[in-house]
Amino acid sequence: MSGLAIITEACIGVKDRACVDVCPVQCIYEFDPHQHVLISEDEAGGGVVENTHAANEDTITIFGDTLLYVNLDECTSCTACYQPDVCPVGAIYSEEQLPDGSPQSPKYNSADPNKGHDHTFFVQLSRDVFADSSDADVIATT
Q: What x/- string results for residues 88 through 107 when contact with ligand SF4 is judged by CB under 6 A?
A: -x-xx---------------
**How near is the Cβ of 103 to ligand SF4 at its closest, in Å?**
26
129 is an interface residue for ligand SF4 by CB under 6 A: no
Cβ closest to ligand SF4, residue 55 vs residue 81 = 81
The edge-to-edge listing of strands for the beta sheet with 37-41 is: 49-54, 37-41, 28-32, 69-70
28 is an interface residue for ligand SF4 by CB under 6 A: yes
H or E element, residue 121: helix 121-128
Distances from the Cα of 30 to the Cα of 20, 38, 41, 95, 97, angstroms: 10, 5, 9, 20, 23
Cβ closest to ligand SF4, residue 19 vs residue 55 = 19
Q: Is the dihedral of CA 31, 35, 40, 43 positive or negative?
A: negative
Residues in the site for ligand SF4, rule: CB under 6 A? 5, 7, 11, 14-19, 22-23, 25, 27-28, 68, 70, 75-81, 86-87, 89, 91-92
